[in-house]
Amino acid sequence: MASYSGSSYKSKAEIDQLRRSLGAQENVGEEEEKTYKYPKSVAFIIGNEFCERFTYYGTRAVLSIYLVGWLSYTESDAALVFHTFSMLCYFFPLVGAIIADSYIGKFKTIFYLSVVYVSGNATISAGSSPLFGNSYHRTVSLLGLLLIAIGTGGIKPCVSAFGGDQFILPQQIKQLASFFSVFYASINAGSLLSTIITPILRHDVHCFGDHACFPLAFGVPGVLMAIALVLFLAGKPLYVCKEPKGNIVVKVTKVVSHALAMKFRSQEKKSHWLDHADDKYDKTLIAHTKAALQVLVLFIPLPLFWSLFDQQGSRWTFQATHMDGGLGFYTIKPDQMQVVNPLLILVFIPIFDYGIYPFFAKFHLLKRPLQRIATGGLLSALSFAMSAFIELKLQPTYPYLPPSGTGQLRVFNGLGCEVTMTSSLESASGSIRSLDALQVNISISGSDDSTLQFTTTPACTQFPNKKFSGNVSLQETKSVSVFLSTSSGNPIASQVPGVDFLVKLETGYPQLRVLYNLHPFQEELKLSQGKFSQTLILKEDITYTSLSPIFKTGKFTVTLDGSLVTNDLKLETAGVYTLIVHSNNSGTIAGLVTVTGPNTVHMLWLVPQYVIITAGEVMFSITGLQFSYTQAPESMKSLVASAWLLTVSFGNLFVVLVLHSKVITNQVWEFLFFATVMVLDMLVFIFLSYFYKYKTAEELEEVTEEPVESPPAAAPNSEETN
């Protein structure tokens, strides 16, 4: 999760800075603070934040799998949509801050955009249900995502600042600190719970006849957002609502644009190009803008970190769908792996603060914030190098999809004896044991109709040395099947209608198709495992079932109309199988053919890369927030906070551009590309850092030539990237 810093990590430094910025006396007594009651209104704001964060991270947790599993995007296109959504979520805070500070105030901004937010949740939940026809699912879902991005992004910079407005400063400075502690705890609680719960709702609940329940997975977060809106409105009589005073981002934009215009018009030389704006703007604003720009220059390389970090919700989630999450007593859902990051954040913050940083400080390492930021970026690159290694191990388990110029043929033997196949097709020949299959890849352009010849072995008791044939229609880039069975006492070869589906389900469920040669015919095939059972109905006039998801993994007992067939049918995570069943007066036998291998690499192998990128986040994101807050003039802290949010937006934009280009088609090389670019990016950052001079709070105050009033909205805000 993006920067679960929590105020406890930086509270002392931030509170001291806040005291100075508000002109608070260091000796504000506890008795004086106690004369002001703790504002009851903040309880509604904290409850609102818990529900909103539950909504956002709950929606985000299942989004990638929804895009692939329900909307039928490819993994690359789904990642593109996911990062476009993330980009917008971190662009609209800039818009929300301008609206709140310059026009309608924080309360109205939060209220109006929360209504947009709720409508977005309702839209995507409806889009994931059968309420709309198949042709509208994508349109409705994408509209819902856009509304959510506008809502969550627009209220992001307003809620914590609105909470700060409820306190009287500097008299309630300690109470304000406790508010931020509880506020950020509510962020952690909401996001952690939703990342655990929504994948369970998606995976374990079946609705509308589907194997997953995305309407519920999106609907529950939507209900929480509606509750967030109700809670926020319930506190209206208690709120302190301050009038908008103008947005510093707008002011700085005007100063910069005017300075640039005057620089090109004027022949006068100035010590700094921003000084050309002194004909219209006061020197304090210009001086503060200069100081802020020195920090913002260091932000230029930072978006690349978020390009890697936010792929936890896209590429890393897709990686988890190709892995085995079984623990024996529980199966980890792929989208639940995202919960590792916030859990580790809570553990790592004190470890880094009291262990790692002091240890390295003994060797004069990691003492300065910019050193930590660069190290965090390099760690994120290392995590992606590990992702590439894991991907290399996963690729052999992926389904083989016939490339252009190739078709695929599988011949399943449902007879009670071995047969030999011959044909005029290249490589389409060989022996096929009973209840087994022969798979061949054939060069083909377009389509081709061919004849296959078969001969039973002399040992076949029912029809020894029997010759028979069958026709097959092959298709380029497709896989088709032929089934050998009996009719009227003679062997026959017939093509199974349609094409074979080879792709694994993103849910991790195994898929099973049954080919049956039953004499006498039996109708009900049941798979049982403990209290679980699933029934497949067979039809007498055909010899096959459709490919069906089986909502459990492990060993199954198989019965036909109550009679035991086998008690050793093993279906593993995401495998694609064909079960061949043969019966005659002598009994019933069955054989299982693996069409696409199951996920064999365990999901816990992803933990090391999560550990490394989370360590990188602690050093990069948390340190970066503290650095940008303490190194910016007080009047510019809102500007720097907005710029920090934009680094997240631009980072996701870079991912969108890379994926949209489709230049890199191999996932291993894509991971290595991001790792390499991140290393080069951090070298640029190290170069820029070399020339940066740290400033104390006193030095930042020196640039002020006249008092600058700063509203409590400038209170420390660790939620910038939450």
| 161-170, 394-403, 497-506: range with lowest mean pLDDT | 161-170
Write out pLDDT tens, residues 654-688. 999 999 999 998 999 999 999 999 999 999 999 99
- Nearest-angstrom CA–CA distance, 226 and 121: 9
Residue 588, sorted as left (phi over 0), alpha (psi -120 to 50) or beta, turns out to be beta
Contact by Cβ (8 Å): 718, 641: no
Write out pLDDT tens, residues 20-33. 444 444 444 455 55
* 668: its two tokens: 């291993």
Among the listed residues 67, 33, 93, 45, the one whose alpha carbon sits nearest the alpha carbon of residue 647: 93
Eight-state DSSP code of residue 336? G
Q: Mean per-residue pLDDT for 188-212?
A: 89
Q: Return the ∠ at Cα 658 (arms to 656 and 663), rounded to 5°.
A: 140
Eight-state DSSP code of residue 103? I
At 454, phi and psi to the nearest 5? Answer: -130, 150
Where do the DSSP E strands lie in 669-716?
A: none
Q: Return the ∠ at Cα 264 (arms to 258 and 270), rounded to 5°.
A: 80
Contact by Cβ (8 Å): 401, 477: yes
User: Which amino acid does the sequence have at 524?
Assistant: E
Determine how many CB atoms are found less than 10 A away from the CB of residue 548: 15
CA distances from residue 497 to 458, 478, 543, 594 in whole angstroms, order as listed? 31, 13, 11, 19
Strand order in the sheet with 587-596: 548-549, 511-518, 576-584, 587-596
Contact by Cβ (8 Å): 466, 455: yes
At 494, phi and psi to the nearest 5? Answer: -135, 140
pLDDT (0 to 100) of residue 708: 40
pLDDT (0 to 100) of residue 716: 39
Determine how many CB atoms are found less than 10 A away from the CB of residue 31: 7
Q: In the chain, what percentage of residues exceed pLDDT 90?
A: 63
Determine how many CB atoms are found less than 10 A away from the CB of residue 168: 15
What is the pTM (predicted TM-score) of this model? Answer: 0.85
For residue 479, the surrounding DSSP H or E stretch is strand 479-487
CA distances from residue 383 to 45, 321, 408, 433, 664 in whole angstroms, order as listed? 37, 18, 37, 46, 19
- 238 has pLDDT over 50: yes
- Nearest-angstrom CA–CA distance, 604 and 323: 9
**204 pLDDT tier (thresholds 50, 70, 90):** confident
Among the listed residues 430, 337, 378, 266, the one whose alpha carbon sits nearest the alpha carbon of residue 680: 378
- Nearest-angstrom CA–CA distance, 565 and 592: 12
CA distances from residue 564 to 124, 435, 472, 524 in whole angstroms, order as listed? 45, 17, 34, 12
Q: Mean per-residue pLDDT for 410-433?
A: 90
Q: Are strands 576-584 and 437-443 parallel, antiparallel or unpaired?
A: unpaired
- Nearest-angstrom CA–CA distance, 189 and 194: 9
- 146 has pLDDT over 80: yes
For residue 49, the surrounding DSSP H or E stretch is helix 41-69
Cis omega (within 30 of 0) for bond into 358: no
Contact by Cβ (8 Å): 314, 78: yes
- 596 has pLDDT over 80: yes
566, exposed or middle or buried, with CB in 10 Å at 0-12, 13-18, 19+?
A: middle
Write out pLDDT tens, residues 270-309. 888 998 888 898 888 888 888 889 899 999 999 999 999 9
| 78-87, 199-208, 430-439: range with lowest mean pLDDT | 199-208
Query: How many residues does the structure list for the chain?
Result: 722
User: Which amino acid does the sequence have at 338?
Assistant: Q
Write out pLDDT tens, residues 477-493. 999 999 999 998 899 99
